Amino acid sequence: MDYKDLANIIFPEAKEISYYEEKYPRRNLPEGAIVTRVAPSPTGFVHVGTLYQALVARKMAEQTQGVFFLRIEDTDQKREIEKGTTDIVNSFNSFGIIPDEGMTSEIEGKGNYGPYKQSQRKEIYQAYAKYLIEQGKAYPCFCATEEVEQIRAKQENAKIRPGYYGVWAKCRNVTVEEAIKKIQNGEKYIIRFKSPGREDRKIKHHDVIKGNVDFPENDQDIVIIKADGLPTYHFAHAVDDHLMGTTHIIRGDEWLSSVPLHLQLFYELGFKAPKYAHIAPIMKNDNGNKRKLSKRKDPEAAVSYYAEEGIPSDAVKEYLLNIANSTFENWRRANPDKSMNEFDLQLNKMSVSGALFDMIKLLDVSKIVISKMTAEEVYEKSLEWAKKYDTDLEELLQDKDYALKVFGIERGNKKPRKDISKWADVKENISYMYDKEFEKNTEEYPFQVINNKEDIEKILKLYVEKYYDENDDKQMWFDKIKELAGEMGYAKEVKEFKANPDMYKAHVGDVSTVLRVALTKRTNTPDMYDIMQVLGKDSVVKRLEMFQ
């Protein structure tokens, strides 16, 4: 009886690994091409950190003419939820992060290196586990969970390093004969890796992001196949990334400490080890303390939050690039009109300790992104948002021609308006352009310098009766406001007023403000000439007369 017999008894059906090695040939890609992936678990919650990793991975593959794929890691079936894969696929799609290969729905995928869902790869893992057993590099472990817990308790009491290793790894020394007998007697078991490592020896590792790191070797006999026949993350990751031809493993830095184990697995399996790039988590400033964005405490940790708030996906992506490389900001300043896809992302320039997520900054980025959209795009995107989240806004947007005029104000020029940072702002932003909404507004008029009722009434009356003509061009329109100011005893030019403040009650700008407030109930609006053009004569006159 030898290891081969043991392996055959445990996995009688498993194929030779050569079958899989041939089935998934090395990829034929240009020199330097990065093959990478994102490998989330379908837990029903897509974390913005996962999106961030996917964005970085997608870009690195694109920049090097490589491949980016989506693998679903569902070997922990207790944590899985229904439609978890669909959630992930849809989230990435909605951000325009489209994998070249990988799962495309709950059960389907595309690409030649699949299946891309671990639960569909059971027989592949078993083949490689069998291969390790055949070589005496893995073994069945018959320890019950309670036994492993007892070992751990003993170690804790004695204040020694916990785990299943060295002398503590009881089943490591079970002979092949004994093991076979136990299996034939129906004893339950799992499969452990027989680690050749020693804790007192060090390994040197170069991480693409973290730089050089030293670790003690791994000496833990970790579980590779669980009682349910599925692999653990560690083992599955090695087998999958080998067969899928991954060159760079870009993943969260919570896995950095697993590198010694992973390198050992690659080595013992006879695989070429990939490069690792461990991304620091996105952090949040919580009253002066820096901490990870938390699924429990921070709504913005969920990818779904951005769609609900109406923050465009391009703005989120652009902001995540800001977080990824601090050089992005300068690049953007120098290239305001380029697509963010042209930015050359560098893995080795990513923050080692974790960049801060700043909502205010994100909204600033978003304002700029939206300011560059056409009126049509703003219309389509805000309508799409409104259909899901705000029926009042949806109703306002029914008249598309009018809405396009409203969104067209100060847009498409060199200095476009930057007053919308998310679709949830739109209603508040445009409501005054709709008579019904304007009339519903019961707030006081926020008049400024000129605030006595009599003067205001006079300005408005005179303007309607004598000066307003909807056919005036902008110059004429403004000249007339100056005339009106002069007629009412206000300075026609701000300069004049500043030179002789005692001679005037106020100046033409203050008269404009009266018109602006009467027309919109706001002190701050885009260009008033444009607003009046869009409102049209009836509405302008009605509004100006409403105050009188």
Give contact residues for ligand GLU (rule: CB under 6 A). 39-41, 73, 233, 237, 249, 251-252, 255
Tell me the residue nearest to ligand GLU as measured from the CB. Answer: 251
| Amino acid of residue 79 | R
- Residue with smaller CB distance to ligand GLU, 3 or 233: 233
Q: Closest separation between CB of residue 250 and ligand GLU, Å?
A: 7
Q: Which of 171, 177, 271 is nearest to 223 (CA)?
A: 171
Burial class (CB in 10 A: 0-12, 13-18, 19+), 291: middle
| Amino acid of residue 524 | N
Q: Which of 476, 488, 496, 495 is nearest to 514 (CA)?
A: 488
Q: Closest separation between CB of residue 36 and ligand GLU, Å?
A: 9
Q: Closest separation between CB of residue 146 and ligand GLU, Å?
A: 28
Q: Closest separation between CB of residue 524 and ligand GLU, Å?
A: 46
Residue 72: helix, strand or coil by DSSP? strand
Q: What does residue 246 show for φ and ψ, rounded to 5 degrees?
A: -65, 130
Q: Which residues contact 408 (CB under 8 A, 6 or more apart)?
A: 375, 534
Sequence-ordered strand ranges (E) for 471-536: none
8 A C-beta contact, residue 158 and residue 118: no
| Amino acid of residue 243 | L
- Residue with smaller CB distance to ligand GLU, 251 or 284: 251
- Residue with smaller CB distance to ligand GLU, 42 or 526: 42
Q: Closest separation between CB of residue 327 and ligand GLU, Å?
A: 25
| Amino acid of residue 511 | V
Residue 102: helix, strand or coil by DSSP? strand
- Residue with smaller CB distance to ligand GLU, 84 or 140: 84
- Residue with smaller CB distance to ligand GLU, 69 or 407: 69
């129906």: which residue's tokens? 186
Q: Closest separation between CB of residue 224 and ligand GLU, Å?
A: 16
Question: What is the C-alpha separation between 24 and 119, in angstroms, rounded?
Answer: 18
Q: Closest separation between CB of residue 71 and ligand GLU, Å?
A: 8
Residue 141: helix, strand or coil by DSSP? strand
Q: Closest separation between CB of residue 325 and ligand GLU, Å?
A: 20
Q: Which residues, listed in sequence order, are joined to residue 420 by a DSSP beta bridge?
A: none
- Residue with smaller CB distance to ligand GLU, 71 or 543: 71
CA distance readout (Å), 409 to 195, 223, 381, 529: 68, 63, 17, 10
- Residue with smaller CB distance to ligand GLU, 71 or 284: 71
- Residue with smaller CB distance to ligand GLU, 40 or 231: 40
Helix (H) or strand (E) holding 249, with range, is strand 248-252
8 A C-beta contact, residue 543 and residue 518: yes
Record the tokens describing residue 42, joined without a space: 């379908």
- Residue with smaller CB distance to ligand GLU, 271 or 478: 271
Q: Closest separation between CB of residue 324 and ligand GLU, Å?
A: 16
- Cis omega (within 30 of 0) for bond into 336: no
